Structure 1
Amino acid sequence: MNKEELIAKLKLIIAPYVQDEEAFKNLSEDTDFVNDLKINSANLVDIILDIEDEFDIHLENEDMEQMLNVKSAMDIVIQKLKG
């Protein structure tokens, strides 16, 4: 899976929780879930659970704590998929 495919999948997962549509339209690796997209902490947990389901991976607490923006989410997913 290349970077564009991964971002596309993450966008589908994140979309239902986004509070700032304009920031979502300009989503990039640098997009912060809380500061840019205005996603609250409860919805971040939902996103993490959805990521686990979508990619069939298990995220540890430390992975979850680091997953604050699109780039960190991509890095963690890639790392988990390599196993």
Structure 2
Amino acid sequence: MDKAELLARLKVILTPYAQDSAALEQINEETDFIADLKMNSANLVDVVLDIEEEFNIEIDNESMEKMLNVKAALEVITAKL
């Protein structure tokens, strides 16, 4: 699975939680979940759970703490696949 496909699947996961739809449309590796998408910490937990389900992976607490932007999330997903 290439990075573009991972990003597309991640965007679908983020859609219900992102408060800034314009930022979601412009999503890229530098997109920050809190600053750009206006998500809160509870949303981040939900996103991690949804990522685990979507990709059939388990994300440990250490990895979860790093997942504050798209690039970090893609790195964690890639490492766990």
Class of the TM-score when normalised by the shorter of the 2 chains? over 0.9
Residue aligning to 1:69: 69
Alignment partners' CA distance in 1, 2:39 and 2:11: 13
- Two-structure CA RMSD over aligned residues (Å): 0.4
- Count of aligned positions: 81
Distance across 1 between alignment mates of 2:5 and 2:75: 13
Q: Is the helix fraction higher in 1 or 2?
A: 1
Measure, in 2, the Cα distance between the counterparts of 1:12 and 1:23.
Answer: 14
TM-score, reference length from structure 1: 0.96
Structure 1 SS opposite 2:24: helix
Note the residue ranges of structure 1 that are not aligned, 5 or more in a row.
Answer: none
Corresponding position of 1:50 = 50
The correspondence of residues 19-58 of structure 1 with structure 2, limited to 5 A, is 19-58=19-58
Structure 2 unpaired stretches of 5+ = none
